[in-house]
């Protein structure tokens, strides 16, 4: 059976540091758009850290939630694409074929998670910043929608390596850039098709929930909400 | 006309003539013979060290073949070379164990920054005009050596000053040795967020003049007084790893984390209990917690040992600090103080830590001593789950402070003939009142080793650009973050892109040209040799189970990214008798009737102290708590905003007794109504195309108050007033879900 890539994010570990966001920029050749375009809400962050304030001073709380493409099994972005640029891969990813994309932006309209980002202009890397580009990831041009791929280039590289070494992939062997960088180990990536994997174990946990799960999108990212401390538990 | 210019022009002219507008002159560049063996498409991983903050995390650099425009022997051309493509944490490194923070991830952009200085520069225009002429290294070094030999001949005391960021290892040795031979001042180390108050407190309480290594991972109760330990304070990646482990790494056991501060920091946002405390009352609060623990016989006062004996009234059980007596001054309800004290006393191990604004009040040293005493009372000093002190570099506090140096030089009391600058930008990062710029203007010759023109290096007469960290030999001896002894080392991860040289190499070269004692005191020809010598000494001292001789030891260290002890190490405490200190109320600059608000600068999670404001990734990544990008803001409580008729995004003017600035307002529920906060980092007047002229610099309006008993700046001791002056520009990240919390409830 094909792998079903998924993720679990433990919000009791996440401290909102943004390491995942910068790691993603570096890995996936995400261009910065500059101040003017950022002011028009055109900045691109395939993963972002949401923060929610609750209450009023002094009884105020903040919760962080990193949000990336949820790689839905019933993805609202896929059926609306007139050119099949958004499609479902055999390994469960919400793929985006850049050279099929004609920029209708229907997919971004349909996505309830707001994780699709449109290139309003060609990317600019002022020389020699272009030298930082990852040769394993294509650069997107004006008029093209882009989004989180679960670092499909890393997935493919490991699958090819494992096949060449005639072995099965090991659980935890593939780490998207965000997971690899995360200083609190809040993010776990793996095969939801393998019941023994760490990500499957976390997905089965009584704490696991889905973001906007009630929409029926069947996301493959599981969130484990912030826990609380109970004196009795520890005493 | 130089040969390269002629070639360039003729290439451009040829292309234009032949292709009339569709030719790219770059394609006319010549190709150099590659200097390395490279396999296209195959990545190699090389160890390196992150130098962007004092934590000293280990890196693995992904290097792949690429084509870069470089200058070799004065000729511009294309070179196929190994290029750093991605930075990851080094999994073998004891500090960060394969993990990396957002700032460390962005280190790539330092190397590839379009505004890096590409070769030595000599000033041509008036000072600060930004007009420089490119020169070769021979001419640049000659100019430096000439100035230094004139100084040497004059035999003038204190004629040489060297201002650097806090340094460790052989670079520090080389600089200190160099400066000492000129009868100069010892090097002046300066960083806005420095740890000298905590070092002073730890020296007095525990006999270690070091920042603490906090073993959060195995702690059951963490009380933090203002320390942004998950974001920017001390060793944030090591502490974040510990935090994740404390929360969910031990099945069935989850530690509690309490944060006391005035504004919710990125760290405070993750607290189980976030409790506001009056600015400067952190020490009093810590002693009130201690009072409850002692009064209720949870611990004996003597359990705190020497750290407790430093606090007046400790042996009597701190009668003046009963919660109901101090509650009003501290701003925390007495029952809350008592409850937190009981919870902490019931948990083992429990630990208290202090940092950032809590030690940047005028009574910051007292606050730190009080929290140290609380930690000692909780029994967690020197134990797992508590505070440890790793052995690191020798922990001598710097002898000269930038503040006193600047005032002496600008008043004319001290004459400095030559000033050298390395990795420090004091014109930006010191309060305007210190007069650093005035002092610099009095120095006849300034040379900078910086990679960028910033507010300080713009005043230089000579610029001798260092390699970027990824292009350079690196070594470091981190002093916190791991209980093991860590000595990191890394050869260059890639060849230099530009005509740059390592600062230490230039200094060693200059020393040898100057002759004299240097052959004895600085026997190494290169920085690499100096590092190798330090590893030979390390091998002699520590030995090795795996390496058969010093050479193999050195080789292995380079492959691994350093050497670290297998077991936790502890340096012996040297405790000198101290006199008991009593609470002194924090002093604030500015009368409270005229300046009603406390002004709280804080370290930016992305721009740190402003030294990373030149990186486009750091500008465009949304701030964790505000989502602000490409600018700065003034954080105001909704009640305060309403009272002053300020709305989100309005331009407000912040006025202190020492200056004023303007920035857009951000209305946030996570800040006390009598405090306004501002991130440090923006407001550069001159720091590359990405940072120049962006936002305002809160440091510029700070009062020059000191932390009593130290020479450190009390950067949280300024009061301000504020008013609306118009509409401002506040850019928040747009692509997000609705503002209400999604249904992520614990069942």
**Per-residue pLDDT reduced to its tens digit, B224-255:** 999 999 999 999 999 999 999 999 999 989 99
Using CA coordinates, name the residue in chain A closest to B111. A129
Task: Give pLDDT, residue A42.
Answer: 93
- pTM for this entry: 0.94
Top residue of B244, B346, B637, B666 to mutate, by most chain A CBs within 10 Å, is B244
CA distances from A157 to A47, A151, A161, B588, B738 (A): 22, 10, 6, 59, 37
User: Three-state DSSP class for B661?
Assistant: strand
Instruction: Say which of A13, A182, A234 has its CB closest to residue B247.
Output: A13
Does the distance separating the beta carbons of A58 and B625 come in below 8 Å? no
For residue A51, which residues of chain B lie inside 8 Å, CB to CB? 269, 624-625, 627
The residue among B503, B445, B447 whose CA lies nearest residue B474 is B503
- Domain annotation for chain A: domains and CATH numbers: 5-228 (3.30.70.20)
Instruction: Say which of B88, B252, B735 has its CB closest to residue A114.
Output: B735
CA angle A185/A188/A191 to nearest 5° reads 165
- Please tell me the distance from the alpha carbon of residue A72 to that of residue B646, in angstroms, as a whole number: 42
CA distances from A39 to A35, A114, B8, B657, B688 (A): 6, 17, 39, 34, 21
Of how many residues is chain B composed?
747
User: Three-state DSSP class for A1?
Assistant: coil
Using CA coordinates, name the residue in chain A closest to B671. A57
Q: Describe the crossing of helices B334-346 and B323-330 by its angle, rounded to 10 degrees.
A: 110
pLDDT band at residue B579 under the 50/70/90 scheme? confident
What is the interface size between A and B, counted as CB pairs within 8 Å? 267
Radius of gyration of chain A (CA): 19
pLDDT band at residue A234 under the 50/70/90 scheme? very low
For residue A212, which residues of chain B lie inside 8 Å, CB to CB? 742-743
Residues A164, B221 contacting (CB under 8 angstroms): no
Place of tokens 């409270």: B592
Residues B605, B624 contacting (CB under 8 angstroms): yes
Q: What is the mean pLDDT of residues B356-379?
A: 97
Q: How far is B161 from chain A (nearest CA, A)?
A: 34
The residue among B694, B697, B709 whose CA lies nearest residue B658 is B697
- Tally helices (H) and strands (E) across chain A: 7, 9
* pLDDT exceeds 60 at position B18: no
For residue B100, which residues of chain A lie inside 8 Å, CB to CB? 19, 23, 181, 183
Q: Phi and psi of B279, rounded to 5°?
A: -60, 130
For residue B737, which residues of chain A lie inside 8 Å, CB to CB? 50, 67, 113-114
Burial of B468 from C-beta contacts in 10 A (0-12 / 13-18 / 19+):
buried
Residue scoring higher pLDDT (A103 or A234) = A103
Does the distance separating the beta carbons of B733 and A45 come in below 8 Å? yes
Q: Which two tokens stand for residue B570?
A: 């502890």
In CATH terms, is domain B3-107 a member of 2.20.25.90? yes
Q: How far is B65 from chain A (nearest CA, A)?
A: 9
Task: Give pLDDT, residue B745.
Answer: 38
pLDDT digits 0-9 by tens, B115-141: 999 999 999 999 988 899 999 999 999
Helices (H), chain A: 19-28, 34-39, 106-110, 152-164, 177-181, 198-204, 231-234
For chain B, give every residue range classified as CATH 2.20.25.90. 3-107
CA distances from B348 to A13, A63, B48, B254 (A): 21, 27, 38, 12
* pLDDT exceeds 80 at position B16: no
* B196-388, CATH topology level: Dimethylsulfoxide Reductase; domain 2 (3.40.228)
For residue A11, which residues of chain B lie inside 8 Å, CB to CB? 744
For residue A227, which residues of chain B lie inside 8 Å, CB to CB? 247-248, 254, 746
Does the distance separating the beta carbons of A58 and B621 come in below 8 Å? no
Residues in Cβ contact with A156 at an 8 Å cutoff, skipping those fewer than 6 apart: none
For chain B, give every residue range classified as CATH 3.40.50.740. 121-189+396-478+486-529+558-564
* B597-727, CATH topology level: Barwin-like endoglucanases (2.40.40)
* pLDDT exceeds 60 at position B23: no
For chain B, give every residue range classified as CATH 3.40.228.10. 196-388
pLDDT band at residue B544 under the 50/70/90 scheme? confident
* pLDDT exceeds 50 at position B602: yes
- In whole numbers, what is the pLDDT of chain B averaged over residues? 91
For residue A234, which residues of chain B lie inside 8 Å, CB to CB? 220, 253-256, 347
Q: What is the DSSP string of A126-170?
A: -TTGGGG--TTSPPP-TT-EEE--SSHHHHHHHHHHHHHTT-PPP
Q: How far is A18 from chain B (nearest CA, A)?
A: 6
Q: What percent of chain B has pLDDT over 90?
A: 80
By DSSP bridging, strand A86-88 and strand A94-96 are: antiparallel
Residues B720, A33 contacting (CB under 8 angstroms): no
Residues in Cβ contact with A174 at an 8 Å cutoff, skipping those fewer than 6 apart: A5, A151, A154, A155, A158, A189, A190
Does the distance separating the beta carbons of A214 and B743 come in below 8 Å? yes
pLDDT digits 0-9 by tens, A145-179: 999 999 999 999 999 999 999 999 999 999 999 99
Does the distance separating the beta carbons of B744 and A223 come in below 8 Å? yes
Does the distance separating the beta carbons of A228 and B622 come in below 8 Å? no
Instruction: Say which of B68, B104, B267 has its CB closest to residue A15.
Output: B267
Instruction: Say which of B85, B88, B625 has its CB closest to residue A62.
Output: B625
Q: How far is A231 from chain B (nearest CA, A)?
A: 8
Does the distance separating the beta carbons of B629 and A38 come in below 8 Å? yes
Burial of B345 from C-beta contacts in 10 A (0-12 / 13-18 / 19+):
buried
CATH architecture of B121-189+396-478+486-529+558-564: 3-Layer(aba) Sandwich (3.40)
Using CA coordinates, name the residue in chain A closest to B620. A32
ipTM above 0.90, yes or no: yes
Task: Give pLDDT, residue B399.
Answer: 59
């Amino acid at each position: 059976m094909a792998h079903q890539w998924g993720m679990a994010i433990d919000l009791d570990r996440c401290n909102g540091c943004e390491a995942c966001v910068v790691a993603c920029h570096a890995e996936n050749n995400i261009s910065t758009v500059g101040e003017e375009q950022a002011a028009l809400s055109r900045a691109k962050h395939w993963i972002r850290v949401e923060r929610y304030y609750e209450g009023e001073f002094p009884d105020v709380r903040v919760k962080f939630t990193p949000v990336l493409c949820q790689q839905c099994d019933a993805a609202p972005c896929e059926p609306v694409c007139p050119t099949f640029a958004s499609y479902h891969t055999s390994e469960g990813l919400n793929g985006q074929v850049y050279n099929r994309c004609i920029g209708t932006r229907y997919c971004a309209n349909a996505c309830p998670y707001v994780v699709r980002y449109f290139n309003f202009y060609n990317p600019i890397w002022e020389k020699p910043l272009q030298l930082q580009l990852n040769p394993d990831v294509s650069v997107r041009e004006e008029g093209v929608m882009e989004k989180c791929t679960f670092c499909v280039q890393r997935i493919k590289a490991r699958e090819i390596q494992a096949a060449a070494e005639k072995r099965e992939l090991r659980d935890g062997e593939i780490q998207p850039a965000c997971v690899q960088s995360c200083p609190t180990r809040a993010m776990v990536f793996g095969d939801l098709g393998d019941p023994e994997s760490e990500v499957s174990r976390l997905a089965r946990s009584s704490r696991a929930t889905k973001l906007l799960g009630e929409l029926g999108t069947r996301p493959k990212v599981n969130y484990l909400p912030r826990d609380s401390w109970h004196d009795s538990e520890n005493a | 006309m130089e040969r390269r210019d002629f070639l360039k022009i003729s290439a451009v002219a040829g292309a234009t003539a032949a292709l009339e507008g569709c030719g790219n002159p770059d394609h006319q560049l010549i190709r150099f013979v590659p200097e390395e063996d490279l396999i296209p498409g195959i990545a190699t991983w090389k160890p390196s060290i992150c130098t962007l903050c004092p934590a000293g995390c280990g890196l693995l650099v992904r290097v792949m073949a690429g084509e870069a425009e470089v200058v070799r022997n004065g000729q511009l051309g294309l070179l196929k070379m190994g290029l750093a493509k991605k930075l990851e944490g080094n999994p073998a490194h004891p500090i960060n164990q394969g993990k990396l923070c957002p700032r460390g991830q962005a280190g790539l952009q330092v190397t590839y920054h379009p505004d890096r200085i590409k070769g030595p520069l000599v000033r041509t225009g008036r000072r600060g005009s930004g007009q420089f002429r490119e020169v070769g290294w021979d001419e640049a070094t000659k100019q430096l050596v000439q100035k230094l030999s004139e100084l040497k001949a004059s035999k003038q005391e204190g004629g040489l000053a060297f201002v650097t960021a806090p340094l460790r290892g052989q670079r520090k040795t080389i600089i200190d040795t160099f400066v000492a031979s000129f009868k100069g001042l010892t090097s002046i180390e300066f960083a806005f967020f420095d740890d000298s108050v905590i070092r002073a407190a730890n020296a007095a309480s525990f006999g270690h003049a070091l920042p603490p290594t906090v073993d959060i991972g195995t702690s059951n109760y963490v009380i933090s007084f203002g320390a942004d330990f998950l974001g920017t304070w001390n060793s944030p990646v090591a502490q974040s790893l510990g935090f994740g482990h404390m929360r969910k790494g031990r099945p069935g056991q989850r530690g509690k984390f309490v944060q006391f501060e005035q504004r919710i920091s990125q760290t405070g946002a993750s607290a189980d209990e976030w409790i506001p405390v009056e600015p400067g009352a952190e020490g009093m609060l810590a002693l009130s917690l201690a009072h409850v623990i002692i009064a209720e016989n949870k611990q004996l006062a003597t359990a705190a040992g020497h750290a407790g004996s430093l606090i007046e009234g400790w042996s009597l059980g701190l009668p003046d600090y009963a919660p109901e007596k101090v509650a009003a001054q501290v701003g925390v309800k007495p029952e809350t103080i008592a409850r937190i004290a009981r919870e902490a006393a019931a948990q083992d191990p429990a630990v208290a830590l202090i940092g950032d604004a809590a030690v940047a009040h005028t009574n910051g040293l007292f606050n730190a001593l009080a929290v140290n005493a609380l930690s000692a009372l909780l029994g967690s000093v020197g134990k797992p789950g508590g505070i440890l002190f790793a052995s690191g570099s020798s922990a001598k506090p710097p002898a000269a402070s930038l503040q006193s140096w600047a005032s002496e030089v600008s008043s004319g009391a001290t004459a400095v003939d030559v000033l050298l600058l390395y990795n420090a930008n004091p014109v930006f990062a010191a309060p305007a009142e210190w007069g650093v710029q005035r002092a610099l203007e009095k120095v006849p010759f300034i040379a900078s080793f910086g990679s960028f023109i910033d507010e300080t290096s713009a005043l230089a007469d000579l610029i001798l650009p260092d390699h970027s960290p990824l292009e350079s030999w690196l070594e470091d001896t981190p002093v916190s973050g791991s209980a093991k002894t860590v000595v990191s080392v890394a050869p260059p991860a890639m060849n230099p892109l530009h005509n740059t040289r390592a600062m230490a190499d230039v200094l060693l070269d200059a020393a040898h040209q100057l002759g004299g004692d240097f052959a004895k005191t600085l026997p190494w020809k290169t920085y690499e040799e100096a590092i190798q010598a330090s590893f030979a000494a390390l091998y002699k001292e520590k030995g090795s189970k795996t390496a058969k001789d010093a050479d193999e030891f050195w080789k292995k260290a380079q492959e691994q990214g350093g050497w670290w002890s297998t077991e936790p190490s502890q340096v012996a405490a040297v405790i000198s008798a101290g006199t008991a200190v009593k609470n002194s109320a924090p002093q604030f600059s500015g009368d409270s009737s005229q300046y009603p608000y406390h002004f709280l600068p804080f370290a930016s999670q992305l721009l740190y102290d402003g030294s990373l404001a030149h990186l486009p990734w750091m500008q465009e990544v949304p701030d964790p708590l505000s989502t602000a990008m490409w600018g700065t803001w003034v954080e105001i409580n909704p009640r305060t905003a309403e009272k002053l008729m300020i709305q989100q995004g309005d331009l407000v003017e912040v006025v202190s007794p020492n200056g004023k600035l303007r920035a857009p307002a951000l209305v946030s529920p996570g800040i006390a109504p009598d405090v306004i906060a501002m991130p440090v980092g923006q407001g550069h007047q001159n720091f590359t195309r990405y940072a120049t002229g962006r936002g305002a610099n809160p440091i510029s309006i700070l009062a020059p108050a000191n932390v009593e008993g130290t020479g450190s700046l009390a950067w949280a001791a300024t009061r301000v007033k504020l008013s609306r002056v118009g509409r401002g520009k506040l850019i928040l990240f747009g692509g997000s879900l609705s503002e209400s919390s999604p249904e992520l409830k614990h069942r």
